[in-house]
Structure 1
Amino acid sequence: MMKDKITKALFVYPETPVSFWSFKHAISFVGKKAAFPPLGLMTLAALMPKNYEIKLVDMNIEALKEKDILDSDIVFISAMIIQKESFQKVVTLCNSLGKKVVVGGPYPTSSHSQIEGVDYFVLGEAENTLSEFITDYENGTARHLYLSETKPDITQTPPPRFDIVDMDKYATMMLQYSRGCPFNCEFCDIIELFGRVPRTKNPDQFINEMTILYDTGFRGGVFIVDDNFIGNKARVKKLLPEIIRFQEERGYPFELSTEASLNLAEDDELLSLMARAGFNMAFVGIETPVEASLLAINKQQNTKTDLLSSIHKIQKMGIEVTGGFILGFDDDPEDIFDRQIAFIQKSGIPMSMVGLLTALPNTQLYRRLVKENRILNESTGNNTHDLQLNFIPKMDIDTLTEGYKRVVKAIYTPKNYYARCNTLLKNMNEYPSRPVAKMTLPVLAKNLKGLFASFFIQLFSGYGFEYLKFFLKNLFTRPGVFVQAVSKSVMGHHLFRITNEITAPGWLGKYIDHKLETVNVNLFRLETKKTPDSIFRIINLHIHAVTKMQKKLLKVNKSSTGHLGHTMQTVSADIKSYFTKFEHLVREKIGTIKLDDLKTNLEKIKPAILKKIAQIRKDCDVKYAYIKEYFTEAYYKAEDEINRLVALLGNPQAVAVTT
């Protein structure tokens, strides 16, 4: 039996599409490449044998090179559902280079039966499966599938390997205290992956991880990735005093954030401890202001309190609330869109992450919809950009998607966004005991860089007046939260850009339809004329139309173009058809015009056309690779068509008519 020894392991984290959650357009203000590092792979690395040489490639900050794969003995890939397109490309590349592939993480765990090209699946929580796989692999007896049947004791989980990532490339670091959530929301996959009994690390264990991170020299934001940090209130109340002590002794080096349930507002002691520990943000799943929908999805915890009062109470303790909202529940009323807009504006939640409901695999929602024969396809994991529901909603689909776009567009006008920011900062300003981080030179440099970038970019933007009003108001009336005001401004820039990308496809489709109609009308007019000039104008018309459509498409985000695939393919086919018509036109005129004159004139305009095509090709290959799949045929065929036409004019029988 052949044994495989591992000395070099390559860890790959696939690319995440740009979305509300990527914060791409905000983190660039402070020179960062990605918001968060891949904590799962960093933890996996800590579980590997100590003698392994491990290299991690996060495709969100650097390209994966073939050399990285070839230099390794085996490749480990972890991915979420939203990363599945990039994930599959990595798997395919590894297959082509003959490297064994091991995968895990949320996406493979929920959908492994649909994934091809993978040698080994190590699913569930790695603490229970990785060691067995490594032993079997090195003994030549590895199975195709390893699945954790029990939940591991995470008090035995080692600290993540911070040394395998370039920490300067990330805006925020990550730690984990617990796994699991005690609640039972129908749409949630977390309780399926990690269970409903929260498992926590020991206080000493978690403080040790904070110390290791501190010793790397990192200072700034730390996101505690727990699905519900307060899922076990008794234990977290034992941890928080230790975090407070850690922060006070070191001058509050970390700005903490996490995810928590809204019942945080019901526990004054817990809320006070979190504020004193340096928590400045908590993501809360609010979902909807409609009580009937909350009850239907088993989110009773949000019906036991006044939503707005709870949100404002948390804010007044100096903790920003970031809210998750969902549209598409069965019990959503017709006026849900207006109600969501009104609620969000009153809440003072600047970052209101509104998404369409998606049925994730292995959730209660998915199982129910399967029984009701309402599942259309598998979820993309992106409930904000692709605008494609993977199930049949009770509401009309067009009404739902158009209503969703209306909500997002309304809440992310600069005026409405800054109004929510002012509500938040007014509430946060009421907390006088907010911990203040010790100002070190690196922290000061980062803050100043963000401030200058914000001022000079946003002041001269299309929303510069709203920005200036917000900037000055908080500078002079709320100086205690001015740093937060700058942060909110920078985040607003990202949110405005993403909103434009989400709402752009609608008008782009209409623009393309209009442009095609215009081309067809002009083509008909030109074909009725019997002059060589009309032929040359047809060529320019083709190229001009394609170029204009390309410019419009470039305003649409990469992950927004998926549902335009059919339209784009139609454009490509139509352009090919135009060239075919042109060729027929030339053949018809063979006997009525001088071929030499026609060929001479065509040769004159050929360089300009080919130059334009070359630029388009360069843009496709380098800057805008993602549009290649829609326009490859049109762009790459154009040069060949021009050459064929020149050849045709020289020898009419040399080239067959395209059918």
Structure 2
Amino acid sequence: MKVKLIQPRMLKRPMDTDLKIRMSPHLGLLTVANIIRYECEVTIENENIRAIDFDDVPDLVGIAVTVDILPRAIEIASIYKEKGVKVIAGGIHITTASNTIPKEAFDSLCIGFAENTWPQIIEDAKHGRLQSQYVSAPLESGDDIASPAYDLIDKTDYLWYNVVSTSRSCPHRCDFCYNSSGTHQYINRNIEDVLEDIKKLGTKHIMFIDDNFIGNISWTKQFLERIKPLKLNWNAAVTMKIGQHPELMDLMKETGCQSLFIGFESISSQSLSSVHKMQNNREEFERLINELHKRGIMVNASFVFGLDGDTPETFKNTLNWIISQKIDTITSHIVTPYPGTEFYKRMEEQNRIFDYDLSKYNTSHVVVSPLGMSKEELEKGYLWIYKELYSIKNIFRRMPKTMGTIPAYLTFNFFYRRFGHFTAKVCNLLTYKRIGLFAEKLSRYM
């Protein structure tokens, strides 16, 4: 049986370049490929890299779906369905909001873990009895989580191929996050399996791409003890909870942590309380940033604008605070109601969603009426703060005090953000792999 797995083209946000869409491969599709590869002939196509080959007629097509690419996924599915090819849709949006998917869009929906669904999908497809949906049972343990098929990656296509997951989902339930849907099971992988993945990649620089690398503090400590001998450089995403564990921050630095992505979301307590993100507050932010910077760990801070409690002054206040704290890198979003989340339900109840074009649900468009400002003020402020943060003046004003972090800081702020379009052109000439390796070498000076 021939199975084609597809990642549809994403629409870039105003601040994005081709570096964003060529950042790393889709681990979900690679995991599905590894699950079924011994039963099927599997190919993977990423429309962000090159155009989809619609001339073929596979036996089965699987499409990974996030909310903003659902319209494109439906277009792709219709092309294959016209040929008589059965099309399966899976991914985080399908798992979170399967009841919002048009019934005629796909032949079947894969809801939940691929490990508990795809073997049955293949078996049923072989015998012509494909069901309209497959719902995963909870995994019994981390031993059940499959590794990605890393050998199927064309490394020249991406800046980074060295991406590893240590867990699934997140134990927190923030209103605007997919994980608030209640359909997600948080679970850590078997440590030996993660170590084997790192070994397969054959690199000393690893990006852990979990929703929350410290969702289980005990597991994280055990894992970090195991990677000590590997002498890695690594990055991950964590929550503010890390600030409660100074010994864990020490262990992170000792094992090669270079930077941590942290969802601060807002410096306004009123705005944070509007989405029930009560684990965050400004004073704790400042203490945590100081503790991480003391250890030479960079901070990639994420902010969400348009929350109830935000006003036009929020952008300037946030900018000044970011500069005062010398936050190393910043990712900003306009609050977006992902279908299936608690935030979506509340916005619908309040009749505040005015745009249902899901292609705009990529956190760079205003689709919900804000309370403290106009739609135009939110759009303008969102673009303004990105422009200001990555101006040459403010890049130098945020310069780290720790000398060892400066090479990585300048690489990201100048070559990824400030001059990202130029860097993308260089990548097209020299391959993304070569530029990624160059950036990795710079980071080793930390």
Q: Which TM-score band (shorter chain)?
A: 0.7 to 0.9
For 1:106-145, list aligned pairs within 5 A: 106-112=92-98, 113-115=100-102, 116-145=104-133
**C-alpha distance in 1 between matches for 2:273 and 2:384:** 25
RMSD of Structure 2 on Structure 1 (CA): 2.6
Tell me the alpha carbon deviations over residues 391-417 of structure 1, each in whole angstroms, 9 at most, x when there is no partner.
Answer: 554532223222323323322322112
**C-alpha distance in 1 between matches for 2:311 and 2:368:** 20
- 8 A Cα contact 1:308 1:346, kept in partner: no
**Deviation of residue 149 (structure 1)?**
4.8
- 8 A Cα contact 2:311 2:372, kept in partner: no
**C-alpha distance in 1 between matches for 2:170 and 2:4:** 32
**Deviation of residue 20 (structure 1)?**
7.1
Tell whether 2:12 aligns with 1:18: yes
Match of 2:169 among 180, 203, 207: 180
Other-structure match for 1:291: 269
SS of 1:54's equivalent in the other structure is strand
**C-alpha distance in 2 between matches for 1:377 and 1:17:** 17
**C-alpha distance in 2 between matches for 1:496 and 1:61:** 16
Aligned amino acid, residue 200 of structure 1: N
Other-structure match for 1:275: 253
Tell whether 2:149 aligns with 1:161: yes
Structure 1: 5+ residue stretches without partners: 1-6, 28-32, 430-477, 499-659
**C-alpha distance in 2 between matches for 1:54 and 1:92:** 21
**C-alpha distance in 2 between matches for 1:495 and 1:344:** 21
For 1:594-633, list aligned pairs within 5 A: none
Aligned amino acid, residue 270 of structure 1: L
**C-alpha distance in 1 between matches for 2:147 and 2:101:** 33
Tell me the alpha carbon deviations over residues 359-407 of structure 1, each in whole angstroms, 9 at most, x when there is no partner.
Answer: 11111111112222222243433112xx332455453222322232332
Higher mean C-alpha displacement, 288-297 vs 389-398: 389-398
SS of 1:314's equivalent in the other structure is helix
- 8 A Cα contact 2:180 2:342, kept in partner: no
Other-structure match for 1:59: 47
Match of 2:298 among 320, 332, 339: 320
**C-alpha distance in 2 between matches for 1:275 and 1:398:** 43
Tell whether 2:325 aligns with 1:347: yes
Aligned amino acid, residue 405 of structure 1: L
For 1:78-117, list aligned pairs within 5 A: 78-112=64-98, 113-115=100-102, 116-117=104-105
Match of 1:242 among 202, 206, 226: 226
Other-structure match for 1:38: 26
Other-structure match for 1:383: 363
Tell me the alpha carbon deviations over residues 515-559 of structure 1, each in whole angstroms, 9 at most, x when there is no partner.
Answer: xxxxxxxxxxxxxxxxxxxxxxxxxxxxxxxxxxxxxxxxxxxxx
Over 3 Å counting, the alpha-carbon distance change for 1:483 and 1:259 in structure 2 is: closer
- 8 A Cα contact 1:376 1:392, kept in partner: no
Tell me the alpha carbon deviations over residues 301-347 of structure 1, each in whole angstroms, 9 at most, x when there is no partner.
Answer: 11284312311321232221111111111122452122111112123
**C-alpha distance in 2 between matches for 1:242 and 1:405:** 43
Higher mean C-alpha displacement, 411-420 vs 99-108: 411-420
**C-alpha distance in 2 between matches for 1:374 and 1:485:** 41
- 8 A Cα contact 1:412 1:495, kept in partner: no
Other-structure match for 2:418: 493
**C-alpha distance in 1 between matches for 2:147 and 2:137:** 23
Over 3 Å counting, the alpha-carbon distance change for 1:272 and 1:487 in structure 2 is: same
Match of 2:386 among 408, 417, 420: 408
TM-score, with structure 2 as normaliser: 0.86
Tell me the alpha carbon deviations over residues 191-250 of structure 1, each in whole angstroms, 9 at most, x when there is no partner.
Answer: 43664x631012212111111222xxxx364321111100110111011011112x23xx
For 1:432-471, list aligned pairs within 5 A: none
Over 3 Å counting, the alpha-carbon distance change for 1:190 and 1:203 in structure 2 is: same
Other-structure match for 2:435: none
Over 3 Å counting, the alpha-carbon distance change for 1:166 and 1:298 in structure 2 is: same
How high is the sequence identity, in percent, across the aligned residues?
24
**Deviation of residue 139 (structure 1)?**
2.3
Tell me the alpha carbon deviations over residues 438-462 of structure 1, each in whole angstroms, 9 at most, x when there is no partner.
Answer: xxxxxxxxxxxxxxxxxxxxxxxxx
- 8 A Cα contact 1:326 1:354, kept in partner: yes
SS of 1:142's equivalent in the other structure is coil
**C-alpha distance in 2 between matches for 1:482 and 1:303:** 30
**C-alpha distance in 2 between matches for 1:200 and 1:372:** 37
Count of residues in Structure 1 that have an aligned counterpart in Structure 2: 418
Over 3 Å counting, the alpha-carbon distance change for 1:317 and 1:193 in structure 2 is: farther
Structure 2: 5+ residue stretches without partners: 424-446
Over 3 Å counting, the alpha-carbon distance change for 1:20 and 1:280 in structure 2 is: farther
Over 3 Å counting, the alpha-carbon distance change for 1:14 and 1:334 in structure 2 is: closer
Tell me the alpha carbon deviations over residues 448-489 of structure 1, each in whole angstroms, 9 at most, x when there is no partner.
Answer: xxxxxxxxxxxxxxxxxxxxxxxxxxxxxx7x7435533432
Other-structure match for 1:371: 349
Structure with more contact order per residue of length (Cα contacts < 8 Å, sep ≥ 6): 2
Tell me the alpha carbon deviations over residues 238-285 of structure 1, each in whole angstroms, 9 at most, x when there is no partner.
Answer: 11011112x23xxx3xx3211100221331111111122222121100
Over 3 Å counting, the alpha-carbon distance change for 1:11 and 1:200 in structure 2 is: same
- 8 A Cα contact 1:13 1:58, kept in partner: yes
Tell me the alpha carbon deviations over residues 541-589 of structure 1, each in whole angstroms, 9 at most, x when there is no partner.
Answer: xxxxxxxxxxxxxxxxxxxxxxxxxxxxxxxxxxxxxxxxxxxxxxxxx
Higher mean C-alpha displacement, 235-244 vs 132-141: 132-141
TM-score, with structure 1 as normaliser: 0.59
Over 3 Å counting, the alpha-carbon distance change for 1:304 and 1:491 in structure 2 is: closer
**C-alpha distance in 1 between matches for 2:289 and 2:407:** 21
SS of 2:263's equivalent in the other structure is strand
**C-alpha distance in 2 between matches for 1:294 and 1:53:** 48
Tell me which protein shows more strand as a share of its residues. 2
